[in-house]
Amino acid sequence: MERREGDLSERKKLILRAIIDAYISGGEPVGSKYLTQSGQIAFSSATIRNEMAELEDMGYLKQPHTSAGRVPSEQGYRFYVDGLMDSYRMTANELNELNQLVKARAAELDKILDRASRLMSMMTNYASLTARPSLSAEAVLQFQTLHIDSGTMLLVMVVETGGRHCAKTVYVSAPGITEEAAEQIEICLNDEISERTIDSITLSDIIRLRMRLAAFGCGDITDRIMEAVYSVLGEEDGELHLEGVNHLLRYQEYSDPEKLGGLLESLEQKSDILDMVKRGENEGINIYIGSENGLSSMRQSSLIFKKIMRGGRTVGAIGVIGPCRMKYNRVIAMLEQFSRNISGMIDGDISADGMNLREDDSE
């Protein structure tokens, strides 16, 4: 049964947070003796044991073995992430490492993301990922035509992907393509379907385009032009770049070769991870814990990522994959800072000399 925050007393919340913090740090089941000896909880062992038993009955904790302490369940982690964990304040050293990103003088988003991925993995000791959306999510910003000879023209489609403009070209042949017709085709395409995502172009739009082209004898090439548009916008899959997968080997959750193999296979295929990033619900931090990932190979793992936005479009994403007992607050703080740095570089708001961040900027 799903529980709400109001179902837990303040004492239960205090004990649950202490258990999860301890388990994230040590990776061992946590018992009442540890909590009383650590000085974090000012309750008796008997009281703590009773509360832990109730938290287990409510689904927030589980007991791996009869004589062992408790470990967090997925429900416990989710409750912790949503309302229990403290915010993380980045140190001056961490901020300094992050500021190295903006000194790279990288002009292209893919280079910025690659460097960010390496730094993120190094600083968190988890696997990091950067993703780029497929071109099918983008639009043709501008059409240009160049008349080649009688019946042939070059169609140039200027698209934007990841903050970069690039030109895609295709030859179109038809008996009615004269130099004047090519000029009119360019005007019609820019009027009717430029700056539109492929999903937003309707049948009515195509019919209207055909009617306009037919006015100067080129209506028959509408299908060929639209095939070219669909081909160009759908020709690439999204890109996924992974760093530091070897860091996962240090965690006991991946000591089982079969489980590790399944995870590595999912990471190698990349399409499943890209789909999860694409399904990200919001522009803020997206957190998927264990089975929330939708992949059996990631039941021992959490995926955290943040999309990079520009002009209302997703141009990339940066994230981390690690065990469920991840240091969520630290990872979230770093992702927020990374995304600010990257967005600033894309928009030109950050100079190559860096941002000179202070410790209190990270709160």
Amino acid at the residue 144: Q
Map residue 272 onto helix, strand or coil.
helix
pLDDT at 37: 87
Cα–Cα distance for residue pair 69/76, rounded to 1 Å: 15
Q: Which residue has the higher pLDDT, 224 or 289?
A: 289
Q: Give the highest mean pLDDT range of 9-13, 135-139, 215-219.
A: 9-13
Cα–Cα distance for residue pair 314/238, rounded to 1 Å: 12
First-last CA distance in the chain: 35
The strand pair at 285-289 and 301-310 is best described as: antiparallel
Mean pLDDT score across all residues of the chain: 82
Amino acid at the residue 296: S
- Tell me the pLDDT tens digit for each residue of 338-355: 888 887 777 665 443 333
Cα–Cα distance for residue pair 289/106, rounded to 1 Å: 33
Which secondary-structure segment (H or E) carries 184? helix 179-192
- Tell me the pLDDT tens digit for each residue of 286-339: 999 999 988 888 999 999 999 888 777 777 889 999 999 999 999 999 999 888
Whether the CB-CB separation of 301 and 287 falls below 8 Å is answered with: no
Confidence (pTM): 0.67
pLDDT at 278: 76
Cα–Cα distance for residue pair 17/45, rounded to 1 Å: 16
- Tell me the pLDDT tens digit for each residue of 74-83: 999 999 999 8
Task: Return the bridge partners of 309, or none.
Answer: 314
pLDDT above 70: percentage of residues in the chain: 84
Q: Which residue has the higher pLDDT, 97 or 333?
A: 333
Cα–Cα distance for residue pair 198/221, rounded to 1 Å: 18
In terms of Cβ atoms closer than 10 Å to its own Cβ (0-12, 13-18, 19+), residue 203 is exposed
Residues of 235-257 as b/e, b for ≥16 C-beta within 10 angstroms? eeebbbbbbbbebbeebebbeee
Q: Which residue has the higher pLDDT, 292 or 97?
A: 292
Map residue 86 onto helix, strand or coil.
coil
The strand pair at 152-161 and 140-149 is best described as: antiparallel
In terms of Cα–Cα distance, which of 5, 19, 7, 14 is closest to 73? Answer: 19
Torsion of CA 163, 273, 232, 311, to 10 degrees: -30
Amino acid at the residue 277: V
Whether the CB-CB separation of 180 and 216 falls below 8 Å is answered with: yes
Nearest 5°: the CA angle 174, 178, 182 is: 85
Map residue 70 onto helix, strand or coil.
strand
